[in-house]
């Protein structure tokens, strides 16, 4: 089955620790995205990548970092610099850029205490 996988489903970390969220897709999509979802707010774009070894900041990139070494993988690191990291994180992909339909993974809920 083709799709997007995110792991783990739930993640707990202590404040001050960096944490990496995994996102893998086997859809052969060029573009991948990371979003953050908070209660009562729309999804907000953190980072996106339209091709391997290239990525751009979204609206709320501060305190986050990404890499795109392989077409299938787009891991997100939440650093200790992120002021309020507790949230639901969603990864998505599309064939090419934004004008194409985006497909989403199941999400990772990160809780930092």
Partner 1 sequence: KQEVTQIPAALSVPEGENLVLNCSFTDSAIYNLQWFRQDPGKGLTSLLLIQSSQREQTSGRLNASLDKSSGRSTLYIAASQPGDSATYLCAATGTASKLTFGTGTRLQVTL
Residues in the site for partner 1, rule: CB under 8 A? 4, 6, 33, 40-45, 58, 88, 90, 92, 97-99, 101-107, 109
Shortest distance (Å) from residue 56 CB to partner 1: 10
Query: What tokens does 100 get?
Result: 């194409």
Name every residue whose Cβ is closer than 8 Å to that of residue 34 and which is 6 or more positions away in sequence. Answer: 23, 45, 46, 47, 48, 58, 64, 66, 74, 76, 89, 90, 91, 92
Shortest distance (Å) from residue 16 CB to partner 1: 27
Q: In terms of CB distance, is 58 or 80 closer to partner 1?
A: 58
């Amino acid at each position: 089955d083709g799709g997007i996988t995110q792991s783990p489903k739930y993640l707990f970390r202590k404040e001050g620790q960096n944490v990496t969220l995994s996102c893998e897709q086997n859809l052969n999509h060029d573009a991948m995205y990371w979003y953050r979802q908070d209660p009562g707010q729309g999804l907000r774009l953190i980072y996106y990548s339209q091709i391997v070894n290239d990525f751009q900041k979204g609206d709320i990139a501060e305190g986050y970092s990404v890499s795109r070494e392989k077409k299938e993988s787009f891991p997100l690191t939440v650093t200790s610099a992120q002021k309020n990291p507790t949230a639901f994180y969603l990864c998505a992909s599309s064939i090419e850029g934004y004008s194409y339909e985006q497909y989403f993974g199941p999400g990772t809920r990160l809780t930092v205490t």
